[in-house]
Amino acid sequence: MVDLSVKLCNLSLDNPVIPASGTFGYGREYLDFYDPNILGSFSFKGTTKELRFGNPAPRIADCTAGMINSVGLQNPGVEEVLRTELPEMKKVFKKKVIANVCGFSVEEYVYVAEKLCADESVGIIELNISCPNVHNGGMSFGTDAKCAYEVTYAVKKSVTKPLMVKLSPNVTDITVIAKACEDAGADAVSLINTLLGMRIDLKTKKPVIYNKTGGFSGPAVFPVALQAVYRTYEKVNIPIVGMGGVSSAEDVIEMMLVGATAVQIGTANLKNPYACKEIIDLLPAVMEKYRIKSLKEIIGGAHR
């Protein structure tokens, strides 16, 4: 008998498989495919203070071994999420969830984080610092260590639940940002968010995406994500949730060996709605194949 359980901050997870924010809605959307309670947890759709309709279409582009999206944080706003989405979610998902918090200023991040932290269903706050900082010329919070520290410190002071910061790979050295977040009080980091990418429509000879560029994700980015987690594991002393192109049970094992405590699955859910279930179902056989008795014991194993 193999042991799939892991502990992420204060959450005891039955397994390390967590659908990533923006790819699993609020859980109800997947009820026709499987019971979401088989998951370790899931990160629900990124939430801002106000309602957002997102970016103009087209905002999705197909790529070899992946996709580009420029959805633009479409969500109903934090008050509506608390009023309608989370009560409905609790009817179908009985475990603690991860609340993905987005914002365009430190004040907005704090406001949304405080609101979501107060909900009993939320176990961890996940701070998406890939949002543009409107008070700093539009530069993403996650591309500057000082900005990352500032927003992490402010939110950490305002919440009572563990704070996990989601990091952008579109930086010179992601480990510097991760260390700044740890120094500011983050309890965990999750990485990587999407890479920047674009496609050109050969018929129109113009960008496929209305906003020209978007977030590139999918199997093609897995090696990039793997090395980012590996390097970050050597620089911080807080848990890491690995993500970026994970699409198989073998990928989960690789990600944990380089240092991930748990693993988020993103684009694979959009291609195959059964992806997370299939990965969870196959994990025991893959563990036995590689003589792994407990997933907790392999975290960071590639460093030993």
Residue positions annotated with a catalytic role: 131
In three-state secondary structure terms, 156 is helix
Say if CB 274 and CB 219 are below 8 A apart.
no
- Rounded Cα–Cα distance for residues 23 and 2 (Å): 28
In eight-state DSSP terms, residue 58 is P
- Rounded Cα–Cα distance for residues 197 and 273 (Å): 24
Estimate the share of the chain in helix, then strand, then coil, as percent rounded to the nearest 5. 40, 20, 40
Q: Is the C-alpha dihedral spanning 174, 300, 244, 129 positive or negative?
A: negative
- Rounded Cα–Cα distance for residues 190 and 232 (Å): 10
Q: Which whole-number Å values give the CA distances from 154 to 111, 120, 184, in the listed order?
A: 10, 22, 9
Residue showing tokens 């918090």: 101
In three-state secondary structure terms, 135 is helix
Q: If 0-12 CB within 10 Å is exposed, 13-18 middle and 19+ buried, where does residue 297 land? A: exposed
Contacts of 177 (CB under 8 A, 6+ apart): 142, 143, 145, 148, 167, 168, 171
